[in-house]
Amino acid sequence: MESQIAPIGRLLFIHLLTVELGETVELDCYNPRTPDFDVNKTDESRKQIVWEHRALQQADIISFWFPEETLCAITLFELGAWLNSDKPITVATHENYARRFDVEVQSKLVRPGIPLGNSLHSLVLHTTAAIKKLHDEKI
Band (pLDDT 50/70/90 cuts) for residue 28 is confident
Q: List domains and CATH numbers for the chain.
A: 11-138 (3.40.50)
Each residue of 54-90: pLDDT tens digit? 989 998 899 999 999 899 999 999 999 999 999 999 9
Tell me how far apart the alpha carbons of residues 46 and 52 are, in angstroms, rounded to a whole number. 10
pTM beyond 0.85, yes or no: no
DSSP 76-94: HHHHHHHHTSSS-EEEEE-
Quick one: pLDDT band at residue 12, thresholds 50, 70, 90?
low
